[in-house]
Every structure is written in structure tokens, then in C-alpha cells.
Structure 1
Amino acid sequence: MGGIGWLIVGAEIAFWVVILLGLFTRYILKKKRLGLFFLALTPVVDLVLLIATAVDLYNGATATTVHGIAAIYLGVSIAFGKSMIAWADRQFTYYFLKQGEKPRKKYGFEHARHEIKGSLQHLLAFLIGGAFIFGIHFFIGDPERTAELLNPLRIWAIVVGIDLLYSASYFLWPRRAKG
């Protein structure tokens, strides 16, 4: 795995570190503004990854699948970032602070709506990631060097399609509570 691959791993780790720092600072240290500052760093992590990927390609690197995965990571992070932070906030509040409502399973139409919302976020992530891939492809202006960027996008399109079909199936066959 090359430098960009390790940068993706580092970005994912940094994403969760700043979220945990934000939650810890907000709730344990009772410093809400500082906690918000850490939570606001999540897009900065994404921006660093985007710039590093574009600079690597601009400086002559030939695009690899890893460069495409960087765009996928960015799309997912942007589309799901706010909901991931909200999820982490609810989990942290309930399990560590013993406050708030216990996370519960959803059933029936509520579950189907939740699943399709997640699939639509996945579609949004695909569109954002695809925009990054095509943007980099045109920014570099050398189709031979950036052709590999499109391979992860093709596979991702299939995954998004399956995700949408799977989620839509819950409207036809809703999840039922056991018992």
C-alpha cells in the first residue's frame, strides 16, 4: 500500500479520533466550544486527503485503485459524516454518561424508512465520490494516467444498486419484532 493508502487509513483514524476528542471534551471536560471545535475538524481531515490525492496525481503519479478509494472515502465521509457524528453522540451519551434514551431496534415501516434513508445517503456518497473522481480525472487532463480511477467507481455503482434494492425490499417484507 502506497502513501495515499496509508493516508486514507490515517484519515479514517483521525476522523474517529477528532469525534471522540470532541465528545470527550464536550461531555467529560464540560467544554462545549472546544468539543465543537474538535467535531468541526472532521471536514478538515477530508480536505487534507483530497488535496494530498490531487497533488500526488498532479505531480505525475499514475492513478491506482487506492486513489479511487480516496474519492470513495471522501464521498462517504461527506454524505455520512453528520449522521455518524450524531450516532456517536447518542451512543456516547447513553453508554458513557448513562443519559438519554437507549438505542433501540426499528421494525416495520420505521425500519424500512431508516434503511432507505441510509441507502439514499449511500447514493449521495457515490455521487460526491464520483464527482471527485471525474474532477480529478479532468483536472489532471491525462486519461491514460487517471483511467484506473474509474474502476472503483464501476464496482461502487453495483454496490449502491444492490444497497438500494436491499433497502427497498424492507417496504415489501418489513422487519418484524421477534416473538
Structure 2
Amino acid sequence: MIVTLVIVCEVGFWVLLAAGLTLRYAAGKRRLGAAVLLLEPLLEVVLLAATAVDLRNGAEPDWKHGLAALYLGYTVAYGHYTVRWIDGHVAHRFAGAPPPPKPPRYGTPRAVHEGKLWLRTLLGAAVAVGLLQLAIVYVGDRGGTGSLRAWQFTALRVAGIHGVIALTYALRPKKAPASATSASVGPGPREDR
């Protein structure tokens, strides 16, 4: 049941996103579209409640509950970011808005961007680990919690791997190609002799 609900929540996220953006840009109903977009967190509340009820009713804690916690952590950390990114692209394509800014490609700005993304991943992992710990306490001695502890380790491992990747951008920033830097600098002031 939990896996089905995770899938339903993911599909529901994209359906609500499409409906909200369609209302905002195709139908011209910006407030109604925004209201539909604000319904998206309710999907996560439903998933959280269903997982708690499943555990309360005596379900053996397993990978499905861990997957639900990771999904919830991801949506807390990246849900709004994803909606804002897609909204910017749809507004540009269908409403004449300026193109959304692209992430920086080189140097310190790219390292800062990657660091911010890692902080989102860290937030998602913290939420997942916290929810899993609550589930472990909730289940207590009546059920095996080894699977939930394994999912905690998975969340921390993902955050750690992403942290190492983000750190590489800070330690060895990618340099802009010479043609890009010379074209952006342009010719210097002309000296008349």
C-alpha cells in the first residue's frame, strides 16, 4: 500500500503542477493556479499519515516505509525549488517572461551553486533521518527496525556523496574556456601613439 501511495503522490505532484501552471498561463487564472500549486504539500501530509497508520496497525517496518521517508525528505528539500524552476520555464515559454537564469558554469559561482544544492540534499536527508527515527521510536520493541536504520544510513550516504561532489567544485573549480573569457573581456582600450 505504501509503495502505491508513494507512486500516487509522485504522479499527483506532476498532475497538480501541470494543472496549476495550465490555469496560470493558459487560462489566465493566476490566483486559482497558485491555489492548485499550494495543494501539493497535502500529498506529502497524506503519505506521512498513511505511513504512520500503517505502522500503528502493526505493519512490519520495511523498505517501503524507508522509501516513503526518503520521498518526503526529497519533496521538503527540492519540491518548491522544482516548482519554481518549472514555473520560470513555463512563464518564459508561454507568457513572454524573460528566460530564467541558468546556473553558473564556471569558477566560484558554480561552486556556490553546487554548495546550495548540497544543502538542499542535506536538508532532505535530515528530514528523512528524522522521520525514520520517529518511526523507530513509534514502533518501539514490537517490531524489527533494522530496515529503518538501514534507510537512515542510505539517506546519510546520499548526502555524503553529494557533499563530496559539491566539494570538488570548490576545490577544483572549472575554468572558463579561453575563448569565452577573451570574448567576454573584449579588446582593451586603444592606445594612440
Which residue of 1 is the match for residue 70 of structure 2? 72
Are 1:37 and 2:35 an aligned pair? yes
- 5+ residue gaps, structure 2, are 180-193
Question: Separation in 1 of the partners of 2:149 and 2:163?
Answer: 21
Deviations 1:81-132 (A, max 9, x none): 1111111111211234443125535122111111110101100111111111
Structure 1 gap ranges (5+) = none
Aligned residues: 177
Q: CA deviation at 1:149?
A: 1.2
Deviations along 1:15-55, whole A, 9 cap, x unmatched? 12111211111111111121111111111000000011111
Which whole-Å CA distance do the structure 2 matches of 1:118 and 1:105 have between them? 11
| Residue of structure 2 equivalent to 1:115 | 114
Q: 1:6 pairs with 1, 4, 8, which one?
A: 4
RMSD: 1.6
Aligned to 1:174: 173
> Per-residue deviation at 1:143?
5.8
Q: 1:47 is matched with which residue: 40, 45, 65?
A: 45
**C-alpha spacing 1:91/1:142, structure 2 compared with 1 (3 Å):** farther
The match for 2:188 is none
Aligned in 2, Cα 1:143/1:88: closer, same or farther, shift over 3 Å?
Answer: farther
Distance 2:5 2:38 in 1: 20
- TM-score, normalising length: structure 1: 0.91
Q: Which amino acid aligns with 1:154?
A: F
